[in-house]
Structure formats: C-alpha cells, structure tokens
Chains A and B, each alone.
Chain A
Amino acid sequence: MEIYINAERAQLDVADLLNFGQLIQKIETDVLGPRGEVLTQIQLNDRDLDEAAELDHQNLPLSRIQKLIIKSTTPTMLVLEALGDAPTILSEMVKVLDEVLGSFEDSQDSKGYQEFVIVTDGLSWFTTIYSRSMAIFQDLILQQDLHQSPFILESQKLSKTIEEILDCQSSKDRTTFLDLLEYELKPSLEVLSREVVTFREALVSNP
C-alpha cells in the first residue's frame, strides 16, 4: 500500500488498523493534526472520493487499498481558497435562482421548489465559509475595520433573509417567499459575488 500526503510518500504504522476508516482517522490524528492541517481530498486506488463515497468505504479492508493520495491544507488556506471560489459559485447560484423564479412564474411550483434545493445547498456552503472566515480572521477583521465592509454587512443581511425564507417555507406563504427570493436574496448574492473579491484581497494582503 502506498500512501501520499500532499505528493510526499508517507510511512505509517498500519499494523493495528483494520480498514480504510481507521486509516483516515490515523492520518488526521497523527499527521495532519500536529501540522494544524485539515484533510481536503482523498483519492483511493486512483478514484476521487466525495463525502458519501468516503462513508461507503469506511469498512474497506486495508488489504484492498493499493494507493491512497491525501491532500490537506491549513484552515486559513482552506477559507481563502473557498473565498476565491465564491464569486463563481455565487454567480452560479444567481443563475439557478433565476431558473427557480422562472419555474414559479410558469406556475410550476414543485419544479421551482426542487430547483431551490440547489440554492439552499449553496447558501449552506456560503454560510459555513462566512462563519469560518469570521472565526479565523477575527483579529484581522477588527484591526482593519473590515466588519463594516460591504461584504460583511451584506452577509449579515443575507443571514436575516435566510431566516425569513425559512419562516415563509414553514408558513407556506408563497407570495413572501418569492418576494424574498427575487428582491432580497438575489440582490444579496449579486452584491456578495462582487464584494467577496475585495474582502479576500484585504485578508490576503494582511497576513
């Protein structure tokens, strides 16, 4: 079995391990933990694993692992990478949102709700990135007065909008739900997709 971590061959004692799940756990505890890194990608026997596939392979015996490639990074880099991806992802969310609104406009409500699930996945991703940014760069944000930056203000507004959307979904108020999507959420995502670039630059330029 060959194990590579960030392109370097790793030597690990696997004598006590039975399966893939235990191996990953050991790598996280013994190798990545001390380095302050988190695991970002797993390639098992030349196949990329997403989270679901990783779970599926938890009990895979070690004997069936020929090659394991692990990529890791620090939480700071992870957040910066995600913020780098954010303009593209947020723009894509706006496009999906347009499709959602189109479906509701054509009275295809069930299709609209199905498509909206993609937007909620995106919102969940963004919320995670935002809260991690706040936690990791807390001092820097205070020093640089970034808490008044358009990105953070809009993100806070977005958080309220999401709450209102959830309320509407539970009360089934279609009118307000669509209002929030079109006149609150969509403009917010558009602002964020622009402002996240400046925000990230501010973080990068102040290590």
Chain B
Amino acid sequence: MSIDLDYLMECSPHLHKILINKEFQDSRINDVVPATTRSGLPNLILKHPRGELTLHSGYPDKEAKKIYEKANIKERSLTICFGLGLGYHLDYFLEHHPHEDVVIVEPTYAILAQAVQHRDLSPYFKNSRFKFLISADPDQTGQALCEFYNFYQYSGVQVLELPSYLTLFGAEWERMKSHFTQAISKYTVNTITIMESEGDFTDNCMKNVPHFGKYPWARHLFDQFQGIPVVIISAGPSLHLQFDLLREIRNRALLICVDTAFPILKRQGITPHIVCTADPTSGNFIHLKNMDVSDVYVVAEPMTYYEILELEGLRAFFTNFDGYYAKYFTQFASGPEALLSWGSIASTCFDLARKIGSNPIIFVGQDLSYSDFLYHCPGSRFDDGYTSYLESADRRYLYTSYQSFHIQRLLEYNIFPEPDIYGKTVFCQKNHRLYAKWFHDEFARSSQLIINASERGIVRENCRQMRFKDVCEQILTRELPIEQKLAELYNRPSDYNYQALLTDIDSKLNTLNEAGKTAKKLQQECEDLLQSKDEVETDSGKVKVRNSFNLLTSQSNCGIEDKFILDWIDHENQKAEMFFKREIGKLVGQVLSAELIETTANFYYNFMESRFSCFENLGAHLMVAKEGCLNSMGEKWEQTAS
C-alpha cells in the first residue's frame, strides 16, 4: 500500500523533506520493518541494538483503550502523547475528545519516516489542535513542551504513553518530563500542584488545628540547651556503624533524629530524645505508624501529615517553616517558632540544634550519598525486603548477595560520582549534592562547632571530621539531665490563643463571602461590557467602556485587603493569577477596539470565575479550621469546668 504524502508536503515541507530523504541517523534504531496486526492492519517492527520490538500491540484497539484509561483524561488538562506510532491510540482519543489540544512528542525520525509510509497519518498532521515535537534531544524537547503549557487554559497535564516507546525511550522520556516540570516550576511554587493537584499542605494545616493548643510550640525549646552537645542522627547508609555507640550516650547528649531514622534506631534499641517530622504526605507516615512514640518528643509543623499528630501517646512541639498557612496559624502562638527547612528534614534538625543553643553539633548518618554502595542503612526495615526477595524464589536468588541487592536498588536512580570526605569517589544523586552545599553554607554561618562524625559521605566543608568513637570519648563525657529538662519544657501550659484564632477565622470567612459576591458582580460587569463592545466608536461608548475597565481594575481584589487572604489566593489560584497578570500586561497600550474589549472582558470574566472558586475553596478550608478551633475550645472549657 502506497500512501500519498502530499498532505505532509503542505503541512510541513521541511519535515516532508527529512522523512522522504531519510536525512537522519539514529543509533537507537537499526531498522524499521513493516508488519501487520492480528486483523491485518499496518504495524511496524522496530529493530534495535538489543533486539526487536513490535510498535503496536497485535490488538491495537485494545491497546488504545488501555493507553487512554491509564492517562486518566480530564477536561482542561494539556494532553501530551509520547509516541505517535501509527496513531491507533490517537484515533481512540479523538473519538472521545475531538476538540482537545494534543502535543505529540516523537523522540526519533526513524519510526515516523516508516509510519507515514504505512498508514495515513494526515488526520493528525492536518489537525490544527495537534502539535508535533520531534527531537532526539530530551532536554530540548522538555523545554519546548513548556511553550505549549498555558496556565490560563490548562489545569494539569495528562499523558498518552505508547508502551513500545516507553520500552525503547523510557529514559529520554523521564528526562523530558523532568525538564518540563522544572521549567513549569518557575511559574509555580510547587510543581506537584500542577502535576498532582493534591492539597496535602492545606488539608493537614486545617486538620491539625485542634493540636496547636494541645502541644507546646518550639519556642519553649529555644535557648534552653546552651552548651549541651547535640547529636543529629540521619538515616544515611553509614548510620549502622554507630549503633553501639549511640546506645551508650543517651544521657550524654541530646539526640535529635530525622523521622526516617526513628524506626531504624528503635529496632536497634536506641531511643532518641527528639524526632523531627514535617512531611505532609502519607508516604513518610510509614516511619512512625504503629511505632511507640510515647518515649520521644516529636517536632512537627502545621503541615505535618495529620495522622502523625493523632498517634497514641504522642508528645510534640510545633514549629513552622513559614509556609502560607503555617505562618498564619503561628500568629496565635506567642513567639517566634520558625525553623528552617531546606529539602531534607535534617536541615530542620540542624536549625533546631542551633536555636536551642546546643554546642557542639555532631552529625551521624549524614552521608548524602550511597556510601559503601549501600542503598539504605543496614538494619533498617528495608532489609526485610532483602529477606522476602530471597524467599520469593530462594533457588533463583541463591547467589544474590546483600551487596548486589543494594546495588540493584540504587541503579534505579540517576547517580553521579562525587568526592567523599576522604577524597575518594562515592555515588550520590544530584539533590544530595545540593543538600550538602546547603549544609556547607549554613555551617559557615554558624557560631557553634560543627562535627561530622558520619565517617562516610560528602558533607566535608566548614566542619570538623571526627570518628564518632573519638567524639564519644573526648566530648560526650558527662551525664546531663536532658530527659528532665525536656519534660519540664513540655509540661509548660499551652498559650495558644484559640479565641483570637476563631475571631479571625470568622472575620476572614465574612471577607471571603463578600468577595465572592463582588466577583459575581464584576462578572456581570464583564458581560455588560461585551454587550456594549460595538459602542466603542462613539464618545459615550468610550466613556462607558473606560468606566467599566476602571471598575474592574480597581476592584480586582474583590474588596479583600487582608494580607493573609491575598497571599492564600496567590498560592491557591497561582496558575490563573500568573496567567492573567501576564496576559493583561500584554494588552496595555493597545488601541481600544471592539476586539480588545472582547478579549479583555473575557479575561476578566474567567479570572473572576477562578477567583470565585478559589474563595469558595478557601472558605471550605477555613471551616475545617474553625471546627477544629471550636472543638479545642470546647474541650478546654470542659476541662476548666471539671
């Protein structure tokens, strides 16, 4: 069957030339040969250096349905299709969404050149809603993808992934996605809000309100441990080297650990004094779930996953990382409670150690690398994985060593060589380097003596390297009443002001309610403006239009002056806010015309719609906080009455 490629000539002469003349070389594909599906439709077999791969399933309709269902298609999301192939999956997509925009990512010309010869792909090339990105350079493609993402139009991204492309070009695709998300994150505080749209941070803050008065705040700890040595325990692979010594020094130093290290230590019979945890997702909850936390103090943040704060027997101190909501709720505690948080929770442990006045600050298990080719700390729960791995097929894994188990795991990541504290090469991830740099910079700013006693890893600058054994023998030499001190600080009465919080939430709810009404009024104004767009040629029409624009501009905040609410709107509605500000900025200085009025009125109308739903969301969040507030006040009242 011969396919007429005139359509391609019309749509893109340049691409036509490349595909016809086969002006490309691709070492990833040796050859592409024609084949057929079970029902005789065209298919292709891709011969590559490692073997061969059939492009589409022999049942392309079933494959298309699966790809479609996996993409979890939603309206108002940008659809990216990784791999055009012969387009069967796009046929299925178009049947269900004929008017959606699609960006097709093709990592090679080699397949496309054969595909156009074997199936009529003109429906895609001629469709103005379809855009093609063809490049073997994943970085370039990732950057280019951003050009297609429009914050006004889309509220997320969904991907149709052709399985054969994932098999052949999976690594490139991951890089493209990574570049895309990085570039998008320039416009957003958190990429996850676009890719996942999860409201973990906000949800936790609101659900945690009842705990704000139940537990003391971190300020009570500040400056209370002047000159007391602190050991910060991270969960790096080298931690297992220090188990024996850590068991012996509980009364000679304040032991602060990260949440991931806590179960490891407990398993080894080591009980730290303080555990820092701040992860808002349920993922890190596994480190504390079903653990006995009654003998430690947990330092948590308002956005900490709410189930952590509901653990039985929990004793906690609250801090805040100055996030949108945490900052607000912290106002009703009585002092500065903030701690730094920079990528890893160990950064919070370090800042806590500084603020409580400890000196020296000693690190163990702070590798920030895969020391000794270990993926995780031996003795942790991950080791159970090794045991079950062996048991899953004992004969097959008879010769799988513990070391090779670790190496297999760490090879799943992009790893890079980095000099360690001894100048030897160790492997780490890119973010490990960034964390290490942060620590190096912060160490330089700290007045305390910083000792890295991890004996492994890449934390090497602005700190003293010591063996932990020597630290224990030379520095951690005297018994200290740490437990008593912590108990005394924990038992200080709560001074969280729920009454003031309740009053403020009520006032904010009122403001949001009124703002919602104003948004609706402004939408009506936009509709009136659209009706009168053709009057712009007359003098009275011009005045009317100008007055409308003045009203829309001056009231764009819908009467809200509260700085917190404005911040929250910026955060919650960031995509629409950014897009609107950018697009309106482009219109400034243009000649007033019916077309301009229509465009601007539509922008404002949609902007107000986005704000209205944002006000409603904020109101719903604050109602959760209000309920928590009332419950806490009720409990407090009952306690006082009894």
* A interface with B by C-beta (< 8 Å): 105, 107, 114, 117, 171-176, 178-179, 183
Which residues of the other chain, A, contact B59 by a CB distance below 8 angstroms?
Answer: 179, 183
Most chain A C-beta atoms within 10 Å of own C-beta, residue among B45, B54, B164? B54
Which residues of the other chain, B, contact A173 by a CB distance below 8 angstroms?
Answer: 45, 51-54
| Cβ-defined partner of A175 (8 Å) among B56, B62, B66 | B56
- When C-beta atoms are compared, the residue in chain B nearest to A175 turns out to be B54
| Cβ-defined partner of B55 (8 Å) among A114, A171, A175, A183 | A175
> Considering the complex, which residues of chain B in the window 36-69 have a beta carbon less than 8 Å from any beta carbon of chain A?
38, 45, 50-59, 62, 66
CB <8 Å contact, B51 and A179:
no
Which residues of the other chain, B, contact A176 by a CB distance below 8 angstroms?
Answer: 54, 58
Cα–Cα distance between A114 and B392 once the two chains are bound (Å): 9
CB <8 Å contact, B164 and A175:
yes
| Cβ-defined partner of A172 (8 Å) among B38, B52, B393 | B52
Q: Is B163 positioned at the interface, with any CB of A under 8 Å from its CB?
A: yes
Most chain B C-beta atoms within 10 Å of own C-beta, residue among A114, A117, A179, A183? A179
Cα–Cα distance between A178 and B70 once the two chains are bound (Å): 17
Which residues of the other chain, A, contact B170 by a CB distance below 8 angstroms?
Answer: 107
- When C-beta atoms are compared, the residue in chain A nearest to B57 turns out to be A179
Which residues of the other chain, A, contact B55 by a CB distance below 8 angstroms?
Answer: 175
Please, could you name 10 A-B residue pairs with CB atoms under 8 Å apart, sorted by A? A172-B50, A173-B54, A174-B163, A174-B164, A175-B164, A175-B167, A178-B57, A179-B58, A183-B38, A183-B62
Known: A107-B166, A183-B58, A183-B59. A175 touches B392 (CB 8 A): no
Which residues of the other chain, B, contact A178 by a CB distance below 8 angstroms?
Answer: 57, 163
Which residues of the other chain, A, contact B62 by a CB distance below 8 angstroms?
Answer: 183
Cα–Cα distance between A175 and B59 once the two chains are bound (Å): 10
Distance between A179 CB and nearest chain B CB, rounded to angstroms: 5
- When C-beta atoms are compared, the residue in chain A nearest to B37 turns out to be A179
Interface size on B, residues (CB 8 A): 23
Q: Is B396 positioned at the interface, with any CB of A under 8 Å from its CB?
A: yes
Q: Which 10 A-B pairs have the closest CB atoms?
A: A172-B51, A175-B54, A179-B58, A176-B54, A171-B52, A171-B51, A174-B167, A179-B57, A175-B164, A173-B53
Q: 19 extra interchain contacts, Cβ-Cβ under 8 A, other than A173-B45, A179-B57?
A: A105-B66, A105-B70, A114-B392, A114-B393, A114-B396, A117-B396, A171-B51, A172-B50, A173-B51, A173-B52, A173-B54, A174-B53, A175-B54, A175-B164, A175-B167, A178-B57, A178-B163, A183-B59, A183-B62
- When C-beta atoms are compared, the residue in chain A nearest to B48 turns out to be A172
> Considering the complex, which residues of chain B in the window 418-468 have a beta carbon less than 8 Å from any beta carbon of chain A?
none
Most chain A C-beta atoms within 10 Å of own C-beta, residue among B59, B62, B167? B167
Cα–Cα distance between A171 and B33 once the two chains are bound (Å): 15
* B interface with A by C-beta (< 8 Å): 38, 45, 50-59, 62, 66, 70, 163-164, 166-167, 170, 392-393, 396
Distance between A140 CB and nearest chain B CB, rounded to angstroms: 36
Cα–Cα distance between A107 and B50 once the two chains are bound (Å): 18
- When C-beta atoms are compared, the residue in chain A nearest to B56 turns out to be A175
- When C-beta atoms are compared, the residue in chain A nearest to B55 turns out to be A175
Known: A183-B58, A183-B62. A175 touches B163 (CB 8 A): yes
Which residues of the other chain, B, contact A114 by a CB distance below 8 angstroms?
Answer: 392-393, 396
Cα–Cα distance between A174 and B54 once the two chains are bound (Å): 8
Cα–Cα distance between A175 and B52 once the two chains are bound (Å): 10
Cα–Cα distance between A179 and B62 once the two chains are bound (Å): 10
Distance between A73 CB and nearest chain B CB, rounded to angstroms: 28
Which residues of the other chain, A, contact B66 by a CB distance below 8 angstroms?
Answer: 105
- When C-beta atoms are compared, the residue in chain B nearest to A174 turns out to be B167
- When C-beta atoms are compared, the residue in chain A nearest to B408 turns out to be A110
Distance between B83 CB and nearest chain A CB, rounded to angstroms: 12
Cα–Cα distance between A114 and B38 once the two chains are bound (Å): 28
Which residues of the other chain, A, contact B167 by a CB distance below 8 angstroms?
Answer: 174-175
Distance between A144 CB and nearest chain B CB, rounded to angstroms: 34
Cα–Cα distance between A114 and B164 once the two chains are bound (Å): 20
Distance between B342 CB and nearest chain A CB, rounded to angstroms: 32
Cα–Cα distance between A132 and B393 once the two chains are bound (Å): 28
Which residues of the other chain, A, contact B51 by a CB distance below 8 angstroms?
Answer: 171-173
Known: A107-B166, A183-B62. A175 touches B57 (CB 8 A): yes
- When C-beta atoms are compared, the residue in chain B nearest to A106 turns out to be B70
Which residues of the other chain, A, contact B50 by a CB distance below 8 angstroms?
Answer: 172
Distance between B374 CB and nearest chain A CB, rounded to angstroms: 21
Distance between B454 CB and nearest chain A CB, rounded to angstroms: 32
CB <8 Å contact, B53 and A175:
yes
CB <8 Å contact, A172 and B58:
no
Distance between B175 CB and nearest chain A CB, rounded to angstroms: 16
Distance between A56 CB and nearest chain B CB, rounded to angstroms: 13
Which residues of the other chain, B, contact A175 by a CB distance below 8 angstroms?
Answer: 53-57, 163-164, 167
Distance between A89 CB and nearest chain B CB, rounded to angstroms: 19
- When C-beta atoms are compared, the residue in chain B nearest to A118 turns out to be B393
- When C-beta atoms are compared, the residue in chain A nearest to B43 turns out to be A175
Which residues of the other chain, A, contact B57 by a CB distance below 8 angstroms?
Answer: 175, 178-179
Distance between A100 CB and nearest chain B CB, rounded to angstroms: 14
Cα–Cα distance between A117 and B167 once the two chains are bound (Å): 21
Cα–Cα distance between A107 and B82 once the two chains are bound (Å): 15
Distance between A84 CB and nearest chain B CB, rounded to angstroms: 28
Cα–Cα distance between A204 and B305 once the two chains are bound (Å): 63
Cα–Cα distance between A183 and B163 once the two chains are bound (Å): 16
- When C-beta atoms are compared, the residue in chain A nearest to B397 turns out to be A114
Most chain A C-beta atoms within 10 Å of own C-beta, residue among B50, B66, B163, B164? B163
Distance between B347 CB and nearest chain A CB, rounded to angstroms: 32
Distance between A183 CB and nearest chain B CB, rounded to angstroms: 6
Which residues of the other chain, A, contact B393 by a CB distance below 8 angstroms?
Answer: 114, 117
Distance between B408 CB and nearest chain A CB, rounded to angstroms: 9
Which residues of the other chain, B, contact A171 by a CB distance below 8 angstroms?
Answer: 51-52
Cα–Cα distance between A173 and B392 once the two chains are bound (Å): 26
Which residues of the other chain, A, contact B38 by a CB distance below 8 angstroms?
Answer: 183
Cα–Cα distance between A174 and B38 once the two chains are bound (Å): 16
Cα–Cα distance between A52 and B571 once the two chains are bound (Å): 64
Which residues of the other chain, A, contact B53 by a CB distance below 8 angstroms?
Answer: 172-175
- When C-beta atoms are compared, the residue in chain B nearest to A109 turns out to be B167
Distance between A112 CB and nearest chain B CB, rounded to angstroms: 12
Distance between A8 CB and nearest chain B CB, rounded to angstroms: 36
Cα–Cα distance between A105 and B45 once the two chains are bound (Å): 21
Cα–Cα distance between A176 and B52 once the two chains are bound (Å): 10
Distance between A2 CB and nearest chain B CB, rounded to angstroms: 32
Cα–Cα distance between A114 and B59 once the two chains are bound (Å): 25
Cα–Cα distance between A176 and B56 once the two chains are bound (Å): 8
Which residues of the other chain, B, contact A174 by a CB distance below 8 angstroms?
Answer: 53, 163-164, 167
Cα–Cα distance between A117 and B393 once the two chains are bound (Å): 10
